[in-house]
Amino acid sequence: MHVTFSPEELEFQKEIRAFFRDEFPNDIREMQAKGMELKPADQVRWQQLLHEKGWAGINWPVEYGGTGWTPVQKYIFATEEANANAPFIIPFGLSMVGPVIYTFGNEEQKQRFLPDILASNVWWCQGYSEPGSGSDLASLRTRADLDGDHFVVNGTKTWTTLGQHADWIFCLARTNTDVARRQEGISFILVDMKSSGVSVKPIILLDGTHEVNEIHFDNVEVPVENLVGEEGKGWTYGKVLLQHERANIAAVARSRYRMRRLRKQVSSSVRGATPMIEDKNYMRKLAAVEVELKALEYTELRTLAAVASGKAPGPESSILKIKGTEIQQAIDMLYLQAAGYYALPYVPDQYAPDFSDDPIGQGKETQAALRYFNFRKASIYGGSNEIQKNIIAKHVLGL
């Protein structure tokens, strides 16, 4: 039992560390440090830089241009990426539709879509949830009716993250209503957002941000070659994708980075106030989160070690999403409490890319509440934590 890296892994860590030290663009680093929103162009620039290194397809096999990294290498990369406070990679192309296409798509689809996904030339978004279908996703009603050489798509998708920037959307749509189980008859279909009949309506979240959208499909014609895999098997493919999503959502390395930064922040005085580290009640809460996070770090490592040795991950892997999001939200609350009154000014302009006035509050204080509000989503998306518990109860506990 040990958690030391091999000499090869240490060498790899050095390489990744050097990259984030030397090649992470300064302007993006600075925007990240100030908590500023990245413009889509900067987001793409960053992802393309990773692509040039050959590091865009972290989970992808080598034959499709992926890294082919071992689980330990992926862990090292995620840790260094978090420690550099680098932008999150937008998951819809690289982590979601890409793996579905190289796993279930045909040769033509692989050649047509994968290179642009890998190079972040095309911005993808996800069409799963619908106004009437949240946790009960299989009740979805968006239809794709076959009409000669194309489908006619009608329906509404919602909570579509960053759909306002998207070039393409991958959708679960019903292609057959005459089925024994609702999970059957659902297909995985790729739709060009420029198609006639696609419209995007913004949804503003509680923190005032435009992050998600509602997408309407009104008699949208989609060529049959945009169906991935078999007609009616989309539910199965979609579930595979959700497993990728859940591993990302845990964001353990990011939480570790945020806790370290918080410890630093509370150790020093803001505006001459007594440092929070002197507040025993606060520090007890902080320490309790650190304990849970350390446990989760090792839960993740145990999962990685199991996968690396060719075993299926044990029950410990299934708790990552639940515990990971609970911890993210607990950290949000710690930042919020540390900010005191200065959590209250609602000054989102301060975090817009072109802000140049005197800011209110120090550092990212006035972002603490907004982040706290925004990340209530973490225990809801990717299958709410209650749905996760249903899944674990059924598949792990056999209830």
Partner 1 sequence: MDFSLNEVQEMLTDSIDKFIENDYAFDTRQEYASSDSGYSADVWNMFAELGWTAVPFSEEDGGFNGDQVDIMVMMQCFGRGLVVEPFLANVVLAGGILKRTADAGQKEKWLQPLIGGELHTTLAFTEPQARYDLSDIATTATADGDDWVLDGNKGFVLNGATSSLIIVPARTSGLPGDADGITLFAVPGDTPGMSMNAYHTIDGLRAAELTLENVRVDAGAVLGEIGGGFAALDATIDDATMAISAEAVGIMHVLKDKTIEYSKSRSQFGVPIGSFQALQHRMVDMLTACEQAQSLLMWAAMTCASGDGDAKRAISSIKYLVGTSGQLLGEEAVQIHGGMGVSWELDVAHYFKRLTAISQLFGNADWHLDRLAV
Q: Residue from 18, 288, 352, 360 that binds partner 1 (CB under 8 A)?
A: 288
Query: Per rule CB under 8 A, is residue 296 in the interface with partner 1?
Result: yes
Q: Judging by beta carbons within 10 Å of its beta carbon (0-12, 13-18, 19+), is residue 163 exposed, middle or buried? A: buried
CB of 309 to partner 1, least distance (A): 8
User: Which is closer to partner 1, CB of 4 or CB of 356?
Assistant: 4
Of 25-33, 125-133, 210-218, 384-392: span binding partner 1 (CB under 8 A): 384-392
User: Which is closer to partner 1, CB of 273 or CB of 291?
Assistant: 291
Instruction: Report CA 265 to chain centroid distance, whole Å.
Output: 26
Of 86-94, 123-131, 253-261, 283-291: span binding partner 1 (CB under 8 A): 283-291
User: Which is closer to partner 1, CB of 97 or CB of 296?
Assistant: 296
CB of 383 to partner 1, least distance (A): 13
Q: Residue from 280, 341, 354, 358 that binds partner 1 (CB under 8 A)?
A: 280
Number of residues that bind partner 1 (CB under 8 A): 43
Closest Cα to residue 252, out of 308, 333, 305, 323? Answer: 323
Query: Per rule CB under 8 A, is residue 291 in the interface with partner 1?
Result: yes
| Residue 91, H or E segment | helix 91-91
Which residues make beta-bridge pairs with 198? Answer: 217
For 110-152, give the DSSP string.
HHHHHHHHHTT-S-EEEE--BTTBSS-GGG---EEEEETTEEE
Are the beta carbons of 137 and 91 closer than 8 angstroms? Answer: no
Q: Beta strand pairing status for 150-157 and 143-147?
A: antiparallel
What 57-62 contacts at long range (C-beta under 8 Å, 24+ apart), as own/partner pairs, is 57/94, 57/98, 57/118, 58/89, 58/94, 59/95, 59/99, 59/244, 60/94, 60/98, 60/99, 60/102, 60/118, 61/102
Contact positions with partner 1 (CB under 8 A) in 303-362 = 304-306, 308-309, 315-316, 319, 322-323
Q: How far apart are CA 325 and CA 321, in angstroms?
A: 6
Task: Tell me the residue type at 37.
Answer: E
CB of 91 to partner 1, least distance (A): 24
CB of 75 to partner 1, least distance (A): 8
Q: How far apart are CA 213 and CA 200, in angstroms?
A: 6
Of 20-28, 145-153, 208-216, 276-284: span binding partner 1 (CB under 8 A): 276-284
Query: Per rule CB under 8 A, is residue 252 in the interface with partner 1?
Result: no
User: Which is closer to partner 1, CB of 189 or CB of 252?
Assistant: 252
Are the beta carbons of 16 and 330 closer than 8 angstroms? Answer: no
Closest Cα to residue 152, out of 193, 196, 104? Answer: 196
CB of 374 to partner 1, least distance (A): 25
User: Which is closer to partner 1, CB of 145 or CB of 297?
Assistant: 297
Q: Residue from 10, 33, 62, 397 that binds partner 1 (CB under 8 A)?
A: 397
Q: How far apart are CA 359 and CA 363, in angstroms?
A: 9
User: Which is closer to partner 1, CB of 37 or CB of 386?
Assistant: 386
| Residue 187, H or E segment | strand 186-192
CB of 62 to partner 1, least distance (A): 22
Q: How far apart are CA 120 and CA 118, in angstroms?
A: 6
Which residues make beta-bridge pairs with 126? Answer: 170
Contact positions with partner 1 (CB under 8 A) in 27-86 = 72
CB of 329 to partner 1, least distance (A): 15
Q: Which residues bind partner 1 (CB under 8 A)?
A: 1-5, 72, 277, 280, 283-284, 286-288, 290-292, 294-299, 301-302, 304-306, 308-309, 315-316, 319, 322-323, 386, 389-390, 392-393, 396-399
